[in-house]
């Protein structure tokens, strides 16, 4: 019982870690590149777009999609590890 409780804590800690890292990227891509630093990035040309404008209207959305799919993969692996340890 104590062992499986330990596993649960471990699982939750890992989970929080994953979420924190991914949400930092989420924040940087949208609020960072798309809003706070947008005027600086606009100095750079990116395939015909000003880079800041592109992040605000395209790039951030693409990164959002990527974040969720990375999360799905990482959590799938975490779930499997957790199940194996419980079974052991």
Chain positions contacting other proteins, by CB under 8 A: 8, 11-12, 15, 19, 22-23, 26, 30-31, 34-36, 38-39, 42, 46-50, 52-54, 56-58, 60-62, 64-65, 67-69, 71-72, 75-76, 78-79, 82-83
Helix/strand/coil for 62 = helix
Alpha-carbon distance 58 to 24, whole Å?
A: 19
Q: Minimum Å distance from CB 1 to other proteins?
A: 13
Q: Minimum Å distance from CB 26 to other proteins?
A: 5
Q: Minimum Å distance from CB 34 to other proteins?
A: 6
Alpha-carbon distance 26 to 31, whole Å?
A: 8
Alpha-carbon distance 21 to 11, whole Å?
A: 16
């Amino acid at each position: 019982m104590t062992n499986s409780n330990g596993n649960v804590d471990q699982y939750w800690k890992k989970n929080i870690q994953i979420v924190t890292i991914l949400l930092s990227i989420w924040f940087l891509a949208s609020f960072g590149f798309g809003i706070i630093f947008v005027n600086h990035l606009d100095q750079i040309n990116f395939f015909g777009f000003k880079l800041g404008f592109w992040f605000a209207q395209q790039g951030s959305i693409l990164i959002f999609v990527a974040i969720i799919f990375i999360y799905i993969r990482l959590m799938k692996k975490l779930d499997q590890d957790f199940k194996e340890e419980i079974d052991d």
